Amino acid sequence: MERFLRALQIFCIIFFCRALEAREYKCTLNEDQICVFRGVQLKTDDQIMASSFASIGKPPRNVKFEQSTVTSVPLGMFQAFPNLEEYDASHSGVKTLQTSSFSSATNIRELNLTGNKIQQLGNNAFQGANKITSIDLSQNVISEVKENAFDGLSHLTVLNLNSNQISILPSKVFAPLTALESIDLQYNSLTKIDDSQFETCTNLVSLNVSNNALQKFDLKQFLREWSVDSIDVSFNRLKVINIPKNVKKLIASNNQIQSVQVLGKEPQLIFLRLSQNKLTNMDQVPSFNKLVTLDLSYNEIETVDFNSVTKFKNLMLLKLDGNRLTTLSNSMISQWTYLKYLTLSHNELTQINMDVLKMLPKIIKLDLSNNKLTTVQTKDFSDMFPVMVRLMIEGNDFKCDGIASLVKELKYAMAEHKVTVDKCKRGQRLMSGICCS
Ligand SMILES: *[C@@H]1O[C@H](CO)[C@@H](O)[C@H](O)[C@H]1NC(C)=O
Ligand SMILES: *[C@@H]1O[C@H](CO)[C@@H](O)[C@H](O)[C@H]1NC(C)=O
């Protein structure tokens, strides 16, 4: 009896193993020539064997999992499909990247592992995938990245690590990525970035580290002869920002910035967003000859002299909303025709004489809404602002018996200013399209 049971047991084990060996997963080519594995639950043992994978139709170049569970990157897949160029296992329950998973992935170009449960990137995590150009690891739970994690990836141009839990990056971790053009690190927990973190990434043109906890980040490491398109450091805790001359677009909103400096001569900056910081004066922003857009909204600016715009030779859009402006001044002695858009809403202006803007005759849109204006003094409005098409003055405290001359001036102006009664505050009524009480 015992023998019989033993024999049965062995038989069962063999049979079970056979069953395992025989397991084969097939993908089907869809209309986009992507071979799709749908609804598969890959067993750990199967993932390593080439014989586990087959395709209906010719051997695929692109593979994708849908509604499937693949706990790691299957080594066998790349052996079975040696020409594979794109591998998409996004949202597929991937938990680990085992060393040597990519040893046969010699032709892989794009790897998409977004929305998985990967916790760690170990040393040589992508070893073998030497031709890879794009890796998407966003929306995982990566908290640790080993120093040699990206070794061998000298063709990588795009790396997405958005929405993970990385708090520290080894200082040399990106050193092998000499072709890197774009990196996303937003929504991590970074508290600092090394001064030479990106030093060897000389092709980098786009960096996003927004929504971290950075207290310090020295942008000097991007100072080069050729340009960097865009750096986003918004939603951090920076107090100082140094802008290398070769950066074209910088987004540094929602920090605690009190100091702005330029590194190098003839800065290329075109776009600068510094909203939601702690600047107290527009003159804290140094001169940028090429700047077109300057956003200083929601800072702590109390006074402004529009003459400051002349140090930005090409400035077209100036945003000063949400500051603490009570009065405006202008010491310009000749006309300045570059500025086209000026926003001053949500300040504390109680009155304004439009003469303060008469040296800025090319304003197209002026936003004075949501201040405490009781009156706007103006004479020859349409001559002074011949191209203005929009004047926003809603959300103020106009007195109905004090706006007759304003109404008259605006009647013949091209600038649209009228609002409907639903835009008026409680207790206000509409008079010629202006809310007043
Ligand atoms: C990765 O896949 C997701 C969908 O699961 C897609 O939204 C994302 O754009 C892909 N990433 C890349 C780099 O193609
Ligand atoms: C950087 O990431 C933030 C947060 O996801 C996003 O809102 C922003 O548009 C990105 N910046 C750039 C320049 O793409």
pLDDT tens-digit series, residues 251-261: 999 999 999 99
Question: pLDDT per residue over 52-80, tens digit each?
Answer: 888 887 889 999 999 999 988 888 889 99
Among 309, 257, 307, smallest CA distance to 279 is for: 257
For residue 243, what is the enclosing H or E element?
strand 240-244
Encoded tokens for 231? 């750096």
Q: Which of 86, 85, 48 is nearest to 70 (CA)?
A: 48
217: CB partners within 8 A, 6+ apart: 192, 193, 209, 233, 236, 238
DSSP assignment of 209-231, as one string? --SS--SB--GGGG--SS-EEEE
Three-class DSSP category at 423: helix
What average pLDDT score do residues 351-371 get? 96
> Ligand 1 centroid to 155 CA: how many Å?
19
Q: Which residue has the higher pLDDT, 5 or 122?
A: 122
Query: Residue 154 pLDDT > 90, yes or no?
Result: yes
Task: Give the CA-trace dihedral at 196, 272, 314, 280, to 10 degrees.
Answer: -110
User: Residue with structure tokens 């938990």?
Assistant: 95
- pLDDT at residue 12 is higher than 70: no
Q: Which ligand is nearest to the CA of 236?
A: 2
Label residue 43 by pLDDT band (50, 70, 90): confident
Task: Decide if 275 contacts 285 (C-beta within 8 A).
Answer: no
Q: Mean pLDDT across the chain, nearest whole number?
A: 92
Q: What is the mean pLDDT of residues 107-128?
A: 96
Q: How far is the CA of 162 from the centre of ligand 1 (A)?
A: 12
Q: Is the CB of 254 under 6 A from ligand 2?
A: no
Q: Region 333-337: what's the mean pLDDT?
A: 93
253 lines ligand 2 (CB under 6 A): no
Residue 100, pLDDT score: 85
Report whether residue 394 contacts ligand 2, using a CB cutoff of 6 Å: no
Contacts for 370 with CB less than 8 Å, ≥ 6 apart: 345, 346, 394, 395, 396
Return the residue whose CA atom lies nearest to atom 6 of ligand 2: 210
Please give the Cα distance from 41 to 68 (Å, whole number): 6
Q: Which amino acid is at 295?
A: D
Distance from residue 316's CA to the centre of ligand 2 (Å): 23
**Does the beta carbon of 321 lie inside 6 Å of ligand 1?**
no
Share of the chain above pLDDT 70, in %: 95
Provide the 8-state DSSP code for 131: T
> What's residue 126's pLDDT?
95
Please state, in angstroms and rounded to a whole number, the distance separating the CA atoms of residues 319 and 343: 5
What are the φ/ψ torsions at residue 102 (nearest 5 degrees)? Answer: -100, 15
- Cα 129 to ligand 1 centroid, rounded to whole Å: 19
Whole-structure pTM value: 0.91
Euclidean distance between CA atoms 247 and 268, whole angstroms: 6
DSSP letter for each residue of 31-43:
TTSEEEEES-B--
Helix (H, G, I), strand (E, B) or coil at 134: strand
Per-residue confidence (pLDDT) for residue 21, from 0 to 100: 52
For residues 200-213, give the mean pLDDT. Answer: 97
Mean pLDDT of 201-206: 96
Structure tokens at 105: 């992935």
Chain centroid to CA 351: how far? 38
Partners of 242 in the beta sheet? 261
Give 16: exposed, middle or buried? Use CB within 10 Å, 0-12, 13-18, 19+.
exposed
The pLDDT confidence band at residue 5, using thresholds 50, 70 and 90, is very low
SS3 75: helix
Distance 22 CA to ligand 1 centre (A): 32
Ligand that comes closest to the CA of residue 116:
1
Exposed e or buried b per residue across 97-111, where buried means at least 16 C-beta atoms within 10 angstroms of its C-beta? beeebbebbebbbeb
CA within 13 Å, CB half, 93? 13
Q: Give the number of other Cβ atoms within 10 Å of residue 81's Cβ.
A: 25
Q: What's 236's DSSP letter?
A: S
Q: How many CA atoms lie within 13 A of 240 on its CB side?
A: 9
Name the region of 33 (left: φ>0; alpha: ψ -120 to 50; beta: rest).
Answer: left
Query: What's the distance, CA 167 to chain centroid?
Result: 18
Name the 3-class secondary structure at 88.
strand
Q: Among 174, 252, 168, 271, which Cα is nearest to 210's?
A: 252
Residue 159 is predicted with a pLDDT of: 98
